[in-house]
Amino acid sequence: MSDVPTVSAILIFLNAQAFLREAIESVLAQTRYDWELLLIDDGSEDASTGVARLYAERYPSRIHYLAHDARANRGKSRSRNFGIEEARGEYIAFLDADDVWLPSKLAAQVDRLSRHPEAVMLYGPTRYWHSWAPANQHRDSLGALGVRADNVYFPPFLLTRYLGRSSIVPGLCSILVRRSAVVKVGGFEESIQQLFEDQTLIAKLCLHGPVYVDSRCHDLYRQHPDSSSAQAVHDGLYHPWRPSVAHLAYLEWLADYVARHAPQHERLRSAVRRELWLQRHTFAGSAVGLGRVAAEIARKTLERNPVEPPLARL
């Protein structure tokens, strides 16, 4: 391995002892070897800290253990930005502690992205991985791309396409990005830490430059009840098919970001405003049946950020 890695793999973890070892081993199994792995401990209190430190001691030139001051919990966005600050590779890839990469991930994606120097990011479909648990009755499935694969798309096409179709937003573990582009757009949005935080970086990059959409899958997204997304659904903070406070927070951030950084894309701005209006009003309507607390949250959201109906602005 050269002193300067081609790829910096960033893996953040928080109390992930159940699956962390398997995630790290999937990086060690890569057929491309010029990588570094940055293990970012976001304040773990279980055995995962020991697992990460053990791998860093075993592979000191390739795997590095990092933690915030006082081993504090700072959230996903700040932790990934910490990794970006420490990364040395030309490319950056992300891996969650409960997911795995297929062995060809880095070799295939670096080769493909290097053939498209105009592209700032590459991604492919993610496999929803149920079969890791033999007793699971659900079959594995491949996430939809929503666009024609093996093509380069220029801003703002993909971001416009994602609005209203959150199921086609790329999974973070499926992407490979140029570090220079990530640094230029400022990394992840740190005002959003736990839900939709991955989409802030993806949105920024889709506005910053061309994106290559690959047809090949290189990551397995483990489906289990203890994942952060499953817990958010259980706690009522998020639902994949219904409006939520977390989705509204993301759309509000996106509307402001697009207005400030892409004012020339008026159709995108209109599309974001329309989606935000729809989400706010649908959320407000559904909140009536969810009790006084949810209704009050929706009312305050609408009062704080009034938006005209979409037809009034088109």
The whole-angstrom separation of Cα 12 and Cα 74 is 11
- Residues with Cβ within 8 Å of residue 14, at least 6 apart in sequence: 41, 42, 43, 44, 48, 73, 97
How would residue 298 be classed by pLDDT, with cut points 50, 70 and 90? very low
pLDDT of residue 313: 31
Residue 86, SS3? helix
pLDDT of residue 290: 44
How would residue 165 be classed by pLDDT, with cut points 50, 70 and 90? confident
The average pLDDT across 143-172 equals 95
Q: Is the pLDDT of residue 113 over 80?
A: yes
The whole-angstrom separation of Cα 39 and Cα 51 is 10
Torsion sign across C-alpha atoms 17, 19, 23, 28: positive
Q: Locate 206 and state its tokens.
A: 């889709």
The whole-angstrom separation of Cα 215 and Cα 213 is 7
How would residue 194 be classed by pLDDT, with cut points 50, 70 and 90? confident
- Identify the residue with better confidence: 303 or 16: 16
Q: Is the pLDDT of residue 85 over 90?
A: yes
Of 50-54, 102-106, 132-136, give the lowest mean pLDDT range. 132-136
The average pLDDT across 148-163 equals 97
How would residue 3 be classed by pLDDT, with cut points 50, 70 and 90? confident
Rounded to two decimals, what is the model's pTM?
Answer: 0.87
- Identify the residue with better confidence: 141 or 298: 141
pLDDT of residue 241: 55
Phi, psi (5° rounding) for residue 6?
-75, -40
| Delimiting residues of CATH 3.90.550.10 domain(s) in the chain | 7-222
How would residue 246 be classed by pLDDT, with cut points 50, 70 and 90? confident
The whole-angstrom separation of Cα 263 and Cα 134 is 50
Would you report the helix, strand and coil content of the chain in percent, each value rounded to 5? 45, 15, 40
pLDDT of residue 16: 96
Percentage of the chain exceeding pLDDT 90 = 75
> What is the amino acid identity at position 307?
V
How would residue 276 be classed by pLDDT, with cut points 50, 70 and 90? very high
> Mean pLDDT for the chain?
88
For 196, other C-beta atoms within 10 Å of its C-beta total 23
Class for the domain spanning 7-222: alpha beta
Angle between helices 292-304 and 266-287 (to 10 degrees): 150
Is residue 193 within 8 Å of residue 77, measured between CB atoms?
Answer: yes
- Identify the residue with better confidence: 160 or 236: 160
Alpha helices of 210-265 — where are they, by DSSP H? 228-234, 245-261
Q: Is the pLDDT of residue 272 over 90?
A: yes
Strand-pair partners of 41: 13, 67
